[in-house]
Amino acid sequence: MPRTRAAVKTNPYQVHIESLGKKQRELLDSYERDKAASAYSKELNFSLSDGERNLLMLIEEAFTRVKDDTYGTCTNCGNVIGDKRLLAVPWTPFCIDCQELQEKGLLG
Ligand SMILES: [Zn+2]
């Protein structure tokens, strides 16, 4: 038997993890560009929009869950989030049911 190729851990969520990374780079890039532009114009108020900042935070949290091996399960109820949903919003911490609760302000 040939030796199996070195420790590339296959994660069932690899696709989603990659798109998380991609989105994160996108956001950080635009942040850096923004920062450079405002340094040039000597304006202090460079920043990401609230939405972008929030998204970055969600992405970082998602990476933490990847590390903890809890990625793909709802942080509220523990159900599997589902591939289709992760494909659309790989950074989501919630299953669709809990997302609805959260949007209605019913989640703590
Ligand atoms: Zn849930």
Q: Encode pLDDT of 29-86 as tens digits.
A: 988 888 888 777 766 556 778 899 999 999 999 999 999 999 999 999 999 999 999 9
Q: How far is the CA of 79 from the centre of ligand 1 (A)?
A: 6
Q: Let me know if residue 50 belongs to a domain.
A: yes
Q: Let me know if residue 9 belongs to a domain.
A: no
What is the CATH number for 38?
1.20.120.910
Q: How far is the CA of 84 from the centre of ligand 1 (A)?
A: 15
Q: Residue 105: which region, alpha, beta or left (left: phi > 0; alpha: psi -120 to 50)?
A: left
Report pTM: 0.80
Residue length of the chain? 108
Q: Let me know if residue 8 belongs to a domain.
A: no
Residue 10: predicted pLDDT: 77
Contact 23, 90 (CB under 8 A): yes
Mean pLDDT of 83-107: 96
Residue 8: predicted pLDDT: 61
Q: Let me know if residue 4 belongs to a domain.
A: no
Q: Let me know if residue 44 belongs to a domain.
A: yes
Residue numbers of the domain that contains 27: 14-103
Residue 43: predicted pLDDT: 61
**Three-class SS state of 87:** helix
Q: How far is the CA of 94 from the centre of ligand 1 (A)?
A: 5
Residue 4 has pLDDT above 60, yes or no: no
**Domain count within the chain:** 1
